[in-house]
Chain A
């Protein structure tokens, strides 16, 4: 690991308000060499990256969760506080704190700087986005600000080449001066201390800033539409609709290419002079199984692309604002919107990001319903079934029917999440007014291609790592179950009918029979408990082994010839609800600090899945889909 700085390298911590451009600065300083991990014991993302300063010094830069104060109110902010105060168990003890402030929005940041000064560690202030501030007619006397605060102040433009030179030079100077930590005089401030500090910040601000600064005119004009009571909601719905159509339309070329690549690999292996059993393992188990999951990488990347761009644009806070009252009706906090929207990509980051909700009850409700949002792991399953059973035609002249069904499945997920939280709020947390909704609505910023690219890269790597570990091992397990024991000499039925998989599938048949599931589905459901998307690969492996060499390429056509429409729909209904993700359950246990909520989630989702699949199957059969 040549890029990792030695542990002894000095640590520079970036601290700042949410939306101050801290992460853009972090990206500019460390580039793609950053490592994202978790702090021990908590699931807060720890972002560390190496940096070599102009003077040749190697330092570790840490990006801490955004906060308005060290008065930690949520687990995220606790991490920031503990690291800043040097209270952590980790090796991350900052030698220098760089407070990052949005130069066009200094007021709240200055109060944070005053608080950071009390910590007793070397602190400096970096005024970020100076270019935007200047454009809006805000002139800041940085020298005077430095004198007033008693701190070094530099300006930076994270997104411009050379925009961090002054910051780097100052970091070098500070570290060379090697001021150690002095005793901290920081104490949790009460209201009057906060008030005094804010008034002091306002006084400093008035003395160093020339030019009132106009409100950002672009933000004002955009918000006139995007925060309009009616138009705003229409736009929000339209954005979500476009997002889901794009996941299908744009991903297709990429998916076709990946599919073709794995097909080519499979053919290559089939042509090798190897024993049949080994060939089957490589082709059906490894290449077919992993390939059927990796093929969904383009869709996941597109979904995250939308989420990252909307986040960087500053739209996510608006979405929370627009949805607060609507979600409040269902017993959810407006802030739950961002975790729930992230859950469309994956429930794990979604559940982790519930840490922005300070109230425990609001947070638990959000965690309980997050897995109902349609995560990207369901996309493979939905796409497969929709592709096999729903005709590819247009309705109303421009909307694809397949996309529409997909949209419907998403809607069912959302509606059930709202319904469940409504019930939880009424039954479990009776009475008690909810947590206040208070959220800064930052000025809109043009998303930076580089920062979106780094975000996408991180997400894609996580997905591929999963495909290479959890999913791969499940694929091997499925292949073993589906291949052994081998059929006896002179067997008349397909080989898989003699396997362990068939026996297990048949054994649980009585349970799933009312849902219209056959034993092949049962077999696919078992490893699907570890990760949803595995079911696709499992079905592929099962039908490949049972159908012989010729049937391997098209799982979809195998399904459409062997399943009834009612079974397919019941399978979709099952997947909307089923708690089939070991990692999500593990995160719930970790985030809630016990087994209780894990089991609550598991059983309520299982019950919903069973009921939904049962009803879907029965109704579809009654309507002639059997």
Chain B
């Protein structure tokens, strides 16, 4: 794990680029247990070291967001994206 400063992907603006540092499902009050949320995020490719970029967001509450992770685009809500900790400014 790197010592770079991290933020939650859930608070990042459109156009944000970064690299995933950790999946911390425990800090999110999602509609499912934390281990399950973690597994689902991993199954969609959100693992440590992957590059992410926020491409789009919805009209209301800037939610949901469309995130490019490696070469796949995933739509998800900001609430669940709070579980994805990213370092800022990784080169894509």
B74 touches A438 (CB 8 A): yes
A108 touches B72 (CB 8 A): yes
Inter-chain CA distance A263–B32, complex, in Å, is: 59
Q: A228's closest neighbor in chain B, by CB?
A: B56
Encode contact with A along B17-41: 1 for CB under 8 Å, 0 otherwise: 0000001000001111001011111
- Select A69's contact among B23, B29, B43, B80, beta carbons within 8 Å: B43
Q: From residue B63, how far is it (CB to closest CB) to chain A in Å?
A: 5
Tally of contact residues, B, Cβ under 8 A: 40
A325 touches B61 (CB 8 A): yes
Residues of B within 8 A of A195 (CB): 42, 47-48
Inter-chain CA distance A199–B29, complex, in Å, is: 27
Instruction: Tell me if B58 is interfacial: C-beta within 8 Å of chain A.
Output: yes
B75 touches A439 (CB 8 A): yes
Instruction: Tell me if A213 is interfacial: C-beta within 8 Å of chain B.
Output: yes
Residues of B within 8 A of A233 (CB): 59
Task: Given A71-B39, A191-B35, A359-B31, check contact A321 B47 (CB 8 Å).
Answer: no
Q: From residue A34, how far is it (CB to closest CB) to chain B in Å?
A: 29
A322 touches B43 (CB 8 A): no
Q: B28's closest neighbor in chain A, by CB?
A: A436
A194 touches B32 (CB 8 A): no
B80 touches A441 (CB 8 A): no
B43 touches A223 (CB 8 A): no
Residues of B within 8 A of A73 (CB): 40
- Select A227's contact among B32, B40, B55, beta carbons within 8 Å: B55
- Select A433's contact among B23, B29, B41, B60, beta carbons within 8 Å: B29
Task: Given A190-B39, A432-B31, check contact A198 B79 (CB 8 Å).
Answer: no
B72 touches A215 (CB 8 A): no
B43 touches A105 (CB 8 A): no
Instruction: Tell me if B88 is interfacial: C-beta within 8 Å of chain A.
Output: no
Instruction: Tell me if B73 is interfacial: C-beta within 8 Å of chain A.
Output: yes
The number of residue pairs between A and B whose CB atoms lie closer than 8 Å in the complex comes to 126
Q: A188's closest neighbor in chain B, by CB?
A: B39
Residues of A within 8 A of B55 (CB): 223, 227
Encode contact with A along B45-65: 1 for CB under 8 Å, 0 otherwise: 101111000011111110110
Tally of contact residues, A, Cβ under 8 A: 48
Chain B CB count within 10 A is highest, among A219, A230, A436, for A436
Instruction: Tell me if B12 is interfacial: C-beta within 8 Å of chain A.
Output: no
Instruction: Tell me if B90 is interfacial: C-beta within 8 Å of chain A.
Output: no
Residues of A within 8 A of B41 (CB): 438
Q: A111's closest neighbor in chain B, by CB?
A: B43
Chain B CB count within 10 A is highest, among A190, A325, A432, for A325
Instruction: Tell me if A435 is interfacial: C-beta within 8 Å of chain B.
Output: yes
Instruction: Tell me if B7 is interfacial: C-beta within 8 Å of chain A.
Output: no
Residues of B within 8 A of A440 (CB): 44, 72-75
Task: Given A191-B42, A198-B42, check contact A437 B57 (CB 8 Å).
Answer: no
A326 touches B74 (CB 8 A): no
Residues of B within 8 A of A228 (CB): 56
Residues of A within 8 A of B39 (CB): 71, 189-191, 194
B76 touches A438 (CB 8 A): yes
Q: A326's closest neighbor in chain B, by CB?
A: B60
Encode contact with B along A69-80: 1 for CB under 8 Å, 0 otherwise: 101010000000
A436 touches B79 (CB 8 A): yes
Task: Given A432-B31, A438-B80, check contact A223 B56 (CB 8 Å).
Answer: yes
Residues of B within 8 A of A324 (CB): 58, 63-64, 75, 77
Instruction: Tell me if A434 is interfacial: C-beta within 8 Å of chain B.
Output: yes
Encode contact with B along A408-450: 1 for CB under 8 Å, 0 otherwise: 0000000000000000000000001111111111110000000
B75 touches A441 (CB 8 A): yes
B71 touches A436 (CB 8 A): no
Instruction: Tell me if B70 is interfacial: C-beta within 8 Å of chain A.
Output: yes
Instruction: Tell me if A334 is interfacial: C-beta within 8 Å of chain B.
Output: yes
Residues of A within 8 A of B57 (CB): 229
Instruction: Tell me if A320 is interfacial: C-beta within 8 Å of chain B.
Output: yes
B47 touches A202 (CB 8 A): yes
- Select B71's contact among A107, A326, A441, beta carbons within 8 Å: A107
Residues of B within 8 A of A68 (CB): 43-44
Task: Given A68-B44, A194-B39, check contact A436 B30 (CB 8 Å).
Answer: yes
B59 touches A325 (CB 8 A): yes
B61 touches A105 (CB 8 A): no
A439 touches B74 (CB 8 A): yes
A321 touches B42 (CB 8 A): no
Question: What are 12 A-B pairs with beta-carbon distances under 8 A?
Answer: A189-B39, A199-B49, A223-B55, A435-B32, A436-B79, A437-B64, A437-B75, A437-B77, A437-B80, A438-B40, A441-B66, A441-B73
Given A190-B35, A227-B55, A325-B61, 20 further pairs, Cβ under 8 A: A105-B72, A107-B72, A108-B72, A195-B42, A198-B42, A213-B71, A228-B56, A324-B63, A324-B75, A324-B77, A325-B60, A326-B60, A359-B32, A433-B30, A436-B30, A436-B37, A436-B79, A438-B74, A441-B66, A441-B73
Interface residues, chain A, with chain B CB atoms under 8 Å away: 68-69, 71, 73, 104-105, 107-108, 111, 189-191, 194-195, 198-199, 202, 213, 215, 219, 223, 227-230, 233, 317, 320-322, 324-326, 329, 334, 359, 432-443
